[in-house]
Structure 1
């Protein structure tokens, strides 16, 4: 359940990976066995709404993409999947067996394929942001400047001084100023995140936190604010969060195999509980890339997408301060040769990543089990920056 992001920098010198596959990462087959001349990483047709083609047909070097497994295999990166989409078409996928800690299941060794759901962890936050946008599009919420306490009249008794100034926008940008610390060890009683799991009323816990700074002045990573956002969606829609998400987002995206895990008190974990197939998670990235459209249908407004991916705060203390933060979306860049390539990301603890690269019309998604590892997330950014982006031939 724990979903705290590593604070190490994801930029810097390239990892010194060699080109040999480690036995620690046996491949879980993603294609039908026995197919003649089956290209490495060729996606399986599973009738999930994706159009499938070869990397070379969309201007990518398929042979270069085939070095991903070797690059991962040199070290115990615990990556479970890599999915690549270009020009709206699925062009590459690979899956790797390995250890995992899936929510609500036993820790252990698992096989991963195109039809295996995986914890998204904090990438759930980015999906919750999309649901807020849909609620605003449907006029269930007037806008991001609505005060948070307007939606929680039943929590007046726990209100602390300063909460009246906190709006939805402050929760979306993690700039509410409320006292919150997820950077401590999970067992540290001063870590606020475990309280979302253990408290009989996690919403009450969040709303009772004191305000340490005026809104818009202090960026602090805060899953508690996302829990409030998810509950606001429930309150304005009159539906459980998962039911609203299925109707408003997942069904229009042809996502049918989805799970959103609850906390012990039964409330859906808006900040960290989503489980999706990697190919379906890549659809979330494609939706953002397409400014809210999927197969010609506008699912969330283009304006909301634009607002969500606009850099609003330096993400101080996370990944060496190299990232910006929007509405529950990260904004970063990769250095490819002598050129900076900007991207938008949904990040989840353990190495769950959705990267959206507008300049190249590209989406890359990874899942992993790098929970608590000092190099958590480094494999994904290495693959993106040193293999996937450079494999694009028609933009260089």
Structure 2
């Protein structure tokens, strides 16, 4: 429990001194999330070290980007436009080979692995019930699709999504925790953003493929796109933190975006089907948001997001603290923004930072 208290106090204190130059946000990030070269409680995802992306004048619009970095506590910012990196910036002590914590972007990558599992016939359908793989599970009547949509019927562990995430993050056995959660509502009715959905998806993938998730990612995704190894945080029992904890370089995250923009292909090889990549951004607007049942889901697909900024459609992966992988098809552009702002802790905080990153990206493209 001390970890919850310390993290909570750090964040509370930081909210009061945000106007000062004391950068506790970086202390929090480096103390609790960034692993660096620390090998405790992580597993490796090996790489075949693909050739790096082409660079083309990557230092344009420096003034605007530097201003954004101070406002959003940015660690890295990259733009891929027309298959060339036209902007690449790192801040604080981070560099191009720093493996940064992606937080809930990990969820979206897990969704990509569901698509690959469908393509390889490890899974027959996203309509499969969890009970097909785990008859004893309390959510046996919930489908993989319900988990992907965040409509499994569970409700948050507490009134605070932040506190629920802390409990998940510091759980000593996430498998046990996932199997202990019980649906409270009918599946497919309410949208509730809960980490345990992703944890169950990974358990299903491991059961269906007979591979640990890091091996499955390594064999079917990472070897095709990555320039270096990635790593995944685990709990004390060795279970990956499926809902967060995947750490990679900014370029390798950018290359995931390029894979999606290239309709799932790398050098002519279909890594993941185009049809699934289209599906993950389809938003089920019939889902009521449990925290405000008068509102319906407008932005969330299958562990992926879609919004409009100034009439431009933005498809994206999002992680707490300000992690973004943006896909702007209209501009033939992929953007990575990594950083850590403690005031950006969940889906409700997305709009401001998304608007800012898109605006700076647009100015950079015009520079």
The answer, yes or no, to whether TM exceeds 0.5 is yes
Q: What are the equivalent positions in structure 2 for 1:20-169 lying under 5 Å apart? A: 48-54=51-57, 63=60, 65-72=61-68, 75-97=70-92, 111-153=93-135, 156=136, 159=138, 163-169=139-145
Q: Which residue of 206, 221, 225 corresponds with 2:193?
A: 221
Does 2:293 match 1:324?
no
Report the RMSD for the aligned CA atoms in angstroms: 3.2
Distance 1:299-1:47 versus aligned 2 partners, 3 A rule: closer
Residue 23 of structure 1 deviates from its aligned partner by: 12
Output one character per residue of 1:256-300: Cα deviation in whole Å (capped at 9) or x when no partner: 220011112110111101001011111111111222112332110
- Could you tell me how far apart the structure 2 residues matched to 1:345 and 1:183 are? 27
Q: Which residue of 262, 266, 275 corresponds with 1:303?
A: 275
Q: Is the 8 A contact 1:179 1:209 kept in 2?
A: no
Q: What are the equivalent positions in structure 2 for 1:177-326 lying under 5 Å apart? A: 177-181=153-157, 184=160, 186=162, 191=164, 193-313=165-285, 316=289, 323-326=298-301
- Could you tell me how far apart the structure 2 residues matched to 1:279 and 1:141 are? 30
Q: TM-score, normalised by structure 2?
A: 0.78
Q: Is the 8 A contact 2:189 2:288 kept in 1?
A: no
Q: Which residue pairs with 2:362 in the alignment?
A: 389
Q: Which residue pairs with 1:103 in the alignment?
A: none
Residue 323 of structure 1 deviates from its aligned partner by: 4.7
Q: Is the 8 A contact 1:309 1:330 kept in 2?
A: yes
Unmatched 5+ stretches in structure 1: 4-21, 25-45, 56-61, 98-110
Output one character per residue of 1:179-221: Cα deviation in whole Å (capped at 9) or x when no partner: 33476175x5xx3x34434545423333332322212110010
Unmatched 5+ stretches in structure 2: 8-20, 24-48
Residue 96 of structure 1 deviates from its aligned partner by: 0.5
Distance 1:96-1:182 versus aligned 2 partners, 3 A rule: farther
Residue 233 of structure 1 deviates from its aligned partner by: 1.4
Q: Which residue pairs with 1:333 in the alignment?
A: 308
- Could you tell me how far apart the structure 2 residues matched to 1:50 and 1:182 are? 44
Q: Is the 8 A contact 2:320 2:344 kept in 1?
A: no
Q: Is the 8 A contact 1:323 1:330 kept in 2?
A: no
Q: TM-score, normalised by structure 1?
A: 0.72
Q: Is the 8 A contact 1:174 1:219 kept in 2?
A: yes
Distance 1:251-1:165 versus aligned 2 partners, 3 A rule: same
Q: Is the 8 A contact 2:72 2:353 kept in 1?
A: no
Q: Is the 8 A contact 1:195 1:205 kept in 2?
A: no
Output one character per residue of 1:319-343: Cα deviation in whole Å (capped at 9) or x when no partner: x9885111100111111xxxx1001
Aligned length: 320
Residue 52 of structure 1 deviates from its aligned partner by: 2.1
Which is helix-richer, 1 or 2? 2
Distance 1:124-1:185 versus aligned 2 partners, 3 A rule: closer
- Could you tell me how far apart the structure 1 residues matched to 2:298 and 2:159 are? 17
Q: Is the 8 A contact 1:315 1:321 kept in 2?
A: yes
Q: Is the 8 A contact 1:80 1:96 kept in 2?
A: yes
Q: Which residue pairs with 2:151 in the alignment?
A: 175
- Could you tell me how far apart the structure 2 residues matched to 1:384 and 1:225 are? 28
Q: Is the 8 A contact 2:306 2:315 kept in 1?
A: yes
Q: Is the 8 A contact 1:315 1:324 kept in 2?
A: no
